[in-house]
Structure formats: structure tokens, C-alpha cells
Copies of this chain bind each other. A is one copy, B any other.
Amino acid sequence: MCELLGMSANVPTDIRFSFTGLMQRGGRTGPHRDGWGITFYEDQGCRTIKDPAPCCDSPIAKLVQACPIKSRAVIGHIRQANRGPVALKNTHPFTREQWGRFWTFAHNGQLTDYQALQQSGKHLPVGDTDSETAFCWLLNELDRKYPRKPADMQAMFRYLGELCLQLQQFGIVNILLSDGDYLFSFCSNTLHWLTRRAPFGKARLIDEDVAIDFHQETTPNDVVTVIATLPLTSDEQWHKMEAGYYRLFKNGECVGDST
């Protein structure tokens, strides 16, 4: 299994506090020693930093902690390998271009007997993971239904939610997907989220002795949603997502869900 981290914000926001908590689970407070990666969007462009080495003692991960990269949409992942050996090509997040935008995907869970997903289509997996195969299947199904960029993005995400339900017949699919504007999340069994907005308070990480006063780091109009497999802070109210449901965020706000 793996752990996911996602962020959606209405202003470019520093993810380092949450990333610091996550990376401790990459081999120190958690067993996810088989690589890690994080994708930051800057408008339509994105940069991915990933490494098949354990996150907790990765010099590149320490660089991410040191660099104040601010972004409105982030997807991060730490990996405990099940399908596919430890290698750069098998390290999440995965990115593909669709409709002239970069779509980035990370997955927590495990699929079995998923040969039906390995069909031909526009997008092919490069590595050996069930996750990248599922990502390509999702994009190929979307491409079949929407050969051009959908005019109604909400309808597209509802269809994506249905596709995620279909994926569940092969196993657990906790999913994060973003194009830099939207952050889509689907929960099979474990995914938590919270939205921070004014009045901002303090928070303390569960996995590392680090606290932050968001009041010092934000402006009154900031809205920032963080999604994680398990809550990252001990003194904030995290919402557990319902199994089989999706939730869609944009500019830090929830703009759609399965209901």
C-alpha cells in the first residue's frame, strides 16, 4: 500500500508542512520505503520530483523540503511496492497529456486480475504497476467518450467517478488526479481531507515534532484543501471520505461530489 497527498488552493501555497509529515512515513514512522514523488503545477506547466529511494533519507526529498515551491495544485505519493519492482518508471505520480493539458495521477491500493484494463488505446503504461495501467485505462475511457476537451467538466468528472467505481471490481482504488485546475479524489476505503481558511489557527504534525501557525503564513482570503490517506495533523478536524464516493476540488473549494 501507499500514502497519498493532495492539495488544492486558491493562491500559490507552500506544501512543505504537509510534505514534511508525509515523508516521515516514507521509511521512518511508516513502511513506505519504495520510492516517493511529488508534482507541483504552475498554471498549465508542472514539475515532478521523484525518486525510487526511501523518502525519509532521500537528499532530493530534503531539497523539496528546503525549496519554497508554491503551487495551487499538488499531488504527492510515497510507495510501498506491491505490483512492479522498485524503479523510477514505477514511481508515482504518473503524468500524461490529454486535451492539451497535463494530467497527473497517484493511486493507493492494489488491483488483481486487471488484464482487462490492459487494452489498446491512446495511452500506454511505460512501467509495470497496476496503478499506471489503471491511469491509462481511465484516460483511454475518457478519451473515447470525449475525443475533444469536454465543454462540461463537471459531467466529465461525474463520468470519471463512474469509471472509478468500475475500477473497484479489480481492488482498492484510492485515487488523486489533477490537471492543475481541478483536484479529483476517489475513495475506496481510506482518504481524509480538510479545508483551511480564515480564521487560521495552529497545527501540529503527527509524524514529526513540527508545528505551524497558519495565521503567520497566510492572508485572510486563502483557501487551502489538503487530502491525505491518513490525517497528517493531530489538532485539526479531518473529514473521512465515504467509500465509493468522489470529491472534486478547485481553488481550494469542494465544487462537486458523488451525491
Contacts and interface: CB of A to CB of B under 8 A. Distances in A.
Interface in A82-101: 87-91, 96-97, 99-101
A31 B47 CA distance: 24
Contact of A127 (B45, B47, B59, B90): B45
B44 A126 contact: yes
Interface stretch (A117-125, A187-195, A196-204, A242-250): A117-125
Nearest to A42: B88
B91 A45 contact: yes
Contacts of A87: 42-43, 45
A124 B97 CA distance: 7
A97 B96 contact: yes
Interface string A150-193: 00000000000000000000000000000000000000000000
A116 interface: no
Given A63-B63, A97-B96, A45 B89 contact: yes
How many chain copies?
Answer: 2
Contacts of A96: 97
A233 interface: no
Contact of A88 (B46, B63, B125): B46
A86 to B, nearest CB: 11
Contact of A47 (B46, B50, B67, B100): B50
A238 interface: no
Nearest to A98: B124
Contacts of A126: 44-45, 97, 100-102
A157 B50 CA distance: 30
Contacts of A59: 67
A48 interface: yes
Contacts of A44: 89, 126-127
B124 A99 contact: yes
A122 B122 contact: yes
A211 interface: no
Nearest to A50: B47
A60 interface: yes
Nearest to A128: B44
In the A-B complex, the 6 residue pairs with the closest CB atoms:
A45-B88, A45-B89, A100-B124, A42-B88, A44-B89, A44-B126
Given A46-B88, A47-B88, 16 more contacts: A42-B89, A43-B87, A43-B88, A45-B87, A45-B88, A45-B90, A45-B127, A47-B48, A47-B49, A48-B48, A63-B63, A96-B97, A97-B123, A97-B126, A99-B124, A100-B125
